[in-house]
């Protein structure tokens, strides 16, 4: 069944609305906004706190200076005691204090001065309308009466300053106890001043706004860079994903085509074998003159040619069938105890006529004691026939092909070497010779035709038997093919009765 390849991308390769970039942009945007807001808030809070501390400290110095300059005149006002507001304003002591206050305030940001006695009654104010007001319940007054120096900031839509009315103004007010004898003595009253903080607050707001814009711009730039990086990475990932999908589709199509080709080769090979067997059988009957003499000597030669050609074609078809099984992974091995020396001698006898036709000698040379191993005798026989036949084909007349066999005393592995003194091949040609349909081109390939499947199938058969296949060769120095087989086949491969025969995976590769 062809492999099913699914893609969750849209037809144009772009991810839907829930793509990685959009998800990242949404999440990162929220995080960056929250972080920026937090940093701006912290920065503004820090600036505001520092400004408040500086302003409060400055205010205290101003109040102390004012208090020290006005204390003597203020004490004379305290000495007036309880007096009506109008007589108090016209009293020389009050007028003297008021004149001193206005002289001090000229050219300063101080907008109002108020003085309270210890009972909280307003005994002096730059705004005469506030004289006599009770301030005793005010927390800041109480704190100053106890020795504290509290300060406050407030916004007023309207405010009456000593120089005239003001609108939409920020005020910094401060309280300080007035002590008899200046820096020591009992508290005799509380002084309060109002300073204009509007300009400072506006500067702070502009600084905060500029800081906010800088931080927001920096985070926006960071956000754009991050989103761009993620977008590019996602585009690259999408392109790679699409490429992998295309490759997977192509591979699936190639696999399907290969399966169809393999099935076709198997079917056509079986279809060809049946009539070929009939042709070979009838050629043998005619050649042996079972039904009587042929009547002419040339007929017998023709019959022999028909038989040889049929057997050659049948061998080719058998090789194609083996190739199909190897490629499709349906190769079956039937491992049984095998005397490899006897098997090699049998191969030597069957190929002796071919060796003689090439003018070469073929020998079997066992080395040391060789025991029985468990393997598939049919496939090992085919391996030896292919390798020896290849050696005979590419060894010039008068050469030798030798089958050496020995068994490792420790591992009990069986080692078979097929050695010839033929034309050999280069290191670059060895992989070609082992690939399906690969043929090393030389003068012999033009005179000795073949499918090029002998060595690839031999390597494949050796590997499925659990062995190793190696070729060593040099031009004009002959070739040595080494086959190493284990004493026993791979696990689950043994099947003396044929019931547990194992199907092995594909082992054929192409150049």
Task: Count other Cβ atoms within 10 Å, centred on residue 254.
Answer: 10
Task: Count other Cβ atoms within 10 Å, centred on residue 105.
Answer: 19
CA atoms within 13 A on the CB side of 43: 18
The alpha carbon of 178 is separated from its chain's Cα centroid by a whole number of angstroms, namely: 75
Report the predicted TM-score, pTM, of the whole model to 2 decimal places. Answer: 0.47
CATH code matching the domain that covers 332-485, chosen among 3.40.1260.10, 3.40.50.2000, 3.30.565.10, 3.30.70.2740: 3.30.565.10
Of 5-9, 190-194, 307-311, least confident by mean pLDDT is 5-9
Q: Note the CATH architecture for domain 19-205.
A: 2-Layer Sandwich (3.30)
Judge whether 472 and 413 are in contact, CB under 8 Å: no
* Annotated domain spans of the chain: 19-205, 332-485
**Mean pLDDT of the chain, nearest integer:** 77
* Residue given tokens 């020998």 in the structure block: 363
Under the banding of pLDDT at 50, 70 and 90, the label for residue 453 is confident
Q: What is the DSSP letter of 401?
A: E
* pLDDT for residue 153: 82
Helical (H) or strand (E) element with 217: helix 198-287
* Residue given tokens 């108090």 in the structure block: 88
* pLDDT for residue 193: 85
The 3-state DSSP class for residue 330 equals: coil
CA atoms within 13 A on the CB side of 461: 25
Q: Which two tokens stand for residue 205?
A: 């707001």
Alpha-carbon distance 481 to 356, whole Å? 22
Helical (H) or strand (E) element with 227: helix 198-287
Answer with the residue of higher pLDDT: 1 or 193.
Answer: 193
Residue 161 to residues 24, 70, 114, 194, 276, Cα–Cα distance (Å): 57, 19, 11, 9, 127
Q: 483 forms bridges with which residues in the sheet?
A: 416, 469
Judge whether 437 and 399 are in contact, CB under 8 Å: no
* Residue given tokens 């069944």 in the structure block: 1
* pLDDT for residue 439: 54
* pLDDT for residue 12: 46
Q: Measure the N-to-C terminal CA separation of the chain; round to a whole number of Å.
A: 27
Of 10-14, 49-53, 67-71, 324-328, least confident by mean pLDDT is 10-14
User: Given this chain, do its domains 19-205 and 332-485 carry the same CATH topology?
Assistant: no
| Residue range 472-479: mean pLDDT, rounded | 89
Question: In the chain, count of helices (H) and strands (E)?
Answer: 10, 14
Q: What is the pLDDT of residues 176-210, one digit of tens each?
A: 888 876 667 788 888 888 888 888 777 777 877 77
| Residue range 130-155: mean pLDDT, rounded | 87
Q: What is the pLDDT of residues 384-414, one digit of tens each?
A: 998 998 889 888 888 999 999 999 888 889 9
Task: Count other Cβ atoms within 10 Å, centred on residue 129.
Answer: 9
The alpha carbon of 407 is separated from its chain's Cα centroid by a whole number of angstroms, namely: 51
Q: What is the pLDDT of residues 318-364, one digit of tens each?
A: 777 777 666 666 677 788 899 999 999 999 998 888 888 889 999 99
pLDDT at 436 over 60: yes
| Residue range 9-27: mean pLDDT, rounded | 58
Using a pLDDT cut of 70, give the percent of the chain over it: 74
Alpha-carbon distance 291 to 293, whole Å? 7
**24 Cβ neighbours under 8 A, 6+ residues apart:** 226, 227, 230
Most confident segment among 50-64, 131-145, 420-434: 131-145
Judge whether 335 and 375 are in contact, CB under 8 Å: yes
| Main-chain dihedrals φ then ψ at residue 172, nearest 5 degrees | -120, 110
Q: What is the pLDDT of residues 21-45, one digit of tens each?
A: 677 777 777 887 777 777 776 766 7
Alpha-carbon distance 217 to 456, whole Å? 69
Alpha-carbon distance 362 to 401, whole Å? 5
Give the per-residue SS3 of 81-133.
Answer: CCCCHHHHHHCHHHHHHHHHHHHHHCCCCEEEEEEEECCCEEEEECCHHHCCC
Judge whether 181 and 86 are in contact, CB under 8 Å: no
pLDDT at 4 over 70: no
* pLDDT for residue 444: 45
């Amino acid at each position: 069944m062809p492999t099913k390849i699914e893609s969750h991308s849209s037809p144009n390769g772009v991810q839907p609305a829930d793509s990685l970039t959009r998800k990242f942009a949404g999440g990162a945007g929220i995080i960056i906004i929250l972080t920026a807001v937090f940093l701006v808030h912290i920065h503004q809070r820090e600036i505001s706190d520092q400004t408040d501390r500086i302003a409060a400290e400055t205010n205290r110095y101003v109040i102390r200076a004012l208090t020290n300059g006005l204390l003597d005149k203020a004490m004379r006002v305290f000495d007036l005691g309880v007096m009506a507001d109008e007589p108090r304003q016209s009293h020389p002591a009050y007028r003297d204090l008021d004149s001193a206050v206005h002289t001090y305030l000229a050219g300063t940001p101080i907008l109002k001065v108020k003085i309270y006695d210890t009972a909280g009654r307003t005994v002096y104010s730059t705004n005469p309308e506030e004289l006599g007001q009770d301030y005793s319940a005010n927390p800041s007054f109480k704190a100053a009466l106890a020795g504290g120096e509290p300060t406050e900031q407030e916004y007023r839509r309207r405010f009456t300053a000593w120089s005239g009315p003001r609108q939409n103004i920020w005020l910094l007010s401060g309280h300080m106890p007035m002590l008899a004898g200046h820096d020591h003595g009992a508290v005799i009253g509380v002084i309060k001043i109002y300073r204009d903080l509007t300009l400072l607050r506006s500067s702070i707001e502009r600084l905060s706004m500029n800081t906010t814009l800088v931080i927001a711009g920096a985070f926006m730039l960071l956000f754009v860079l991050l989103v761009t990086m993620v977008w590019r990475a996602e585009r690259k990932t999408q392109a790679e994903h699409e490429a992998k999908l295309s490759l997977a589709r192509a591979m699936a199509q190639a696999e399907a085509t290969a399966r169809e080709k393999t099935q076709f080769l198997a079917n056509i090979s079986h279809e060809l074998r049946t009539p070929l067997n009939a042709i070979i059988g009838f050629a043998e009957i005619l050649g042996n003159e079972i039904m009587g003499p042929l009547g002419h000597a040339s007929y017998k030669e023709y019959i022999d040619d028909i038989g040889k050609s049929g057997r050659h074609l049948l061998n080719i078809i058998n090789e194609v069938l083996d190739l199909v099984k190897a490629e499709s992974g349906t190769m079956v091995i039937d491992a049984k105890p095998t005397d490899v020396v006897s098997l090699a001698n049998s191969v030597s006898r069957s190929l002796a006529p071919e060796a003689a036709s090439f003018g070469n000698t073929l020998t079997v040379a066992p080395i040391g004691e060789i025991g029985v191993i468990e393997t598939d005798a049919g496939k090992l026989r085919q391996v030896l026939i292919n390798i020896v036949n290849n050696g005979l084909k590419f060894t010039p007349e008068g050469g030798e092909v030798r089958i050496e066999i020995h068994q490792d005393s420790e591992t009990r592995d069986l080692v078979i070497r097929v050695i010839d003194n033929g034309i050999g091949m280069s290191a670059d040609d060895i992989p070609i010779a082992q690939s399906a349909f690969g043929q090393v081109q030389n003068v012999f390939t033009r005179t000795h035709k073949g499918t090029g499947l002998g060595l690839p199938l031999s390597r494949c058969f050796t590997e499925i038997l659990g062995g190793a296949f190696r070729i060593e060769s040099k031009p004009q120095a002959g070739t040595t093919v080494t086959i190493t087989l284990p004493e026993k086949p791979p696990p689950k491969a043994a099947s003396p009765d044929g019931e547990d025969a194992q199907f092995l995976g594909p082992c054929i590769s192409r150049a």
